[in-house]
Chain A
Amino acid sequence: MKSIPRRTRAALWVQREVGRVLSFFWIPASAFALRYVMGYRIKNAARLRKRFRALVRESDEPILICANHLTMVDSMLVAWALGGTWWYFFNYRRMPWNLPEYRNFASLWFARAAVWITKCIPIRRGGRREDVSGVLKRVKYLLSRGETALIFAEGGRSRTGRVQIDALAHGMGRLASSVRNCRALVVYMRGDRQLSWSTVPAIGDSFYVDFEVVRPHSERTGMRRSREYAQQIMDRLVDLEDKYFARRQ
Chain B
Amino acid sequence: MSRDETFAKVMEIIGRYAKNQEGLEGASEETNILVDLKVNSARLVDVILDFEDEFDIEVADEDADAVNTVGDAVTLIEAKLA
A residues near B, CB below 8 A?
1-2, 125-126, 128-130, 132-133, 155, 166-170, 174, 178, 221-224, 226-227
Contact = CB atoms under 8 A, between A and B. Distances in A.
A222 B65 contact: no
A37 to B, nearest CB: 34
B80 to A, nearest CB: 11
B34 interface: yes
Given A128-B68, A223-B52, A166 B42 contact: yes
Interface residues of B, number: 18
B41 interface: yes
Given A223-B52, A223-B60, A167 B65 contact: no
B34 A126 contact: yes
B66 A130 contact: yes
A186 to B, nearest CB: 18
Given A129-B67, A130-B65, A223 B45 contact: yes
B59 interface: yes
The listed residue with most B CB atoms (<10 A of its CB), out of A2, A133, A222, is A222
B49 A129 contact: no
Contact of A129 (B52, B59, B60, B68): B68
A74 to B, nearest CB: 19
Contacts of A223: 45, 48-49, 52, 59-61, 64
Contacts of B52: 222-224
Given A227-B45, A227-B49, A129 B58 contact: no
B62 interface: yes
Contacts of B40: 126, 155
Contact of B58 (A132, A169, A222): A222
A174 B41 contact: no
A178 B59 CA distance: 15
The listed residue with most A CB atoms (<10 A of its CB), out of B42, B52, B59, is B42
Contact of B42 (A130, A155, A222): A155
A222 B59 contact: yes
Contacts of A221: 58, 60
Contacts of B58: 221-222
Interface in B35-59: 40-42, 45, 48-49, 52, 58-59
Nearest to A133: B65
Contacts of A128: 68
A183 to B, nearest CB: 20
Nearest to A167: B42
B40 to A, nearest CB: 6
B41 A125 contact: yes
A129 B42 contact: no
Given A129-B66, A130-B66, A224-B52, A170 B60 contact: no
A168 B42 contact: yes
